[in-house]
Amino acid sequence: EVYLVESGGGLEQPGGSLRLSCAASGFTFSSYEMSWVRQAPGKGLEWVSYISSSGSSMYYADSVKGRFTISRDNAENSLYLQMNTLRVEDTAVYYCTRGRFGAGSYYEYWGQGTLVTVSS
Amino acid sequence: EIVLTQSPATLSLSPGERATLSCRASQSVSYDLAWYQQKPGQAPRLLIFDASKRATGIPGRFSGSGSGTDFTLTISSLEPEDSAIYYCQHRANWPRTFGQGTKVEIK
């Protein structure tokens, strides 16, 4: 069974940094494209970032470009999101997602999410 | 950026009725569209991909149709457990975007 377990969320001040992690199991991690999707409290879904299976290609939403960095460690079956220069509007539940095989931007599996709160 | 507009915002129907949800794209996404279901306190679940293909384990009462700019998610006979918010999402280009959601309420 596929498991995606996020960690690293919490309360941070504006301008601060957080690093989210996602531990993956139950599938061959190195074969799948991965993404982060977030959801602000009471709001809809927003795609944040994508990384290819090898880690050679990454894409970002304009709202986080230049501040967030996605990465992965295929040897450790882990996905990361380094979040710098945090803003109040980054407050959200952050979901780690696995794409369908060969169609990585259909989010077939989701973690339970980790809450990031940016507030002074 | 492709904008996805979902309608209606809320749909209130009785069990057994047919639900029809719409998603309109600001430019063509071909067949590169998915639908997700999200229940309160849960992560979203993939229902439909490539506009009309059901994801693994999704009941047959869920179906998708459309191409280009106009898409529909149909729930043929509503069950009480179908109460949720439904989102469409495209993968035609970057950035990927979601619609704002349609809330389905069961009377």
pLDDT of A102: 83
* A44–B89 C-beta distance less than 8 A: no
Residue (of A116, A114, A118, A108) closest to A35 by Cα position: A108
The CA distance from B36 to B44, in Å, is 6
- Whether chain A has a CB inside 8 Å of the CB on B46: the answer is yes
Q: Which of A35, A44, A103 sits opposite B100 (nearest CB)?
A: A44
Residue (of A84, A54, A56) closest to A69 by Cα position: A84
The CA distance from B76 to A52, in Å, is 36
pLDDT of B56: 94
- Whether chain A has a CB inside 8 Å of the CB on B99: the answer is yes
> Which residues face B72 on adjacent strands?
B22, B65
pLDDT of A101: 86
Interface of A with B in 27-86 (CB under 8 A): 35, 44-47, 50, 59-62
- Whether chain A has a CB inside 8 Å of the CB on B37: the answer is no
Rounded to a whole number of angstroms, the distance from the CA of B14 to the nearest CA of chain A is 25
> How does pLDDT run across A32-59, given as a tens digit for each residue?
999 999 999 999 999 999 999 999 999 9
Query: What is the rounded average pLDDT of the residues A22-30?
Result: 97
Q: How far is the CA of B93 from the CAs of A93, A98, B10, B90, in angstroms?
A: 24, 18, 28, 8
Beta strands (DSSP E) in A1-120 are: 3-7, 10-12, 18-25, 34-39, 45-51, 58-60, 68-73, 78-83, 92-100, 103-110, 114-118
| Chain A hits for B50, Cβ within 8 Å | 103, 106
pLDDT of A58: 97
Each residue's pLDDT, cut to its tens digit, for chain B (107 residues) gives 999 999 999 999 999 999 999 999 999 999 999 999 999 999 999 999 999 999 999 999 999 999 999 999 999 999 999 999 999 999 999 999 999 999 999 99
pLDDT of A95: 98
Is the pLDDT assigned to residue A103 strictly greater than 90? no
Q: Which of B34, B95, B101 sits opposite A61 (nearest CB)?
A: B95
pLDDT of A104: 84
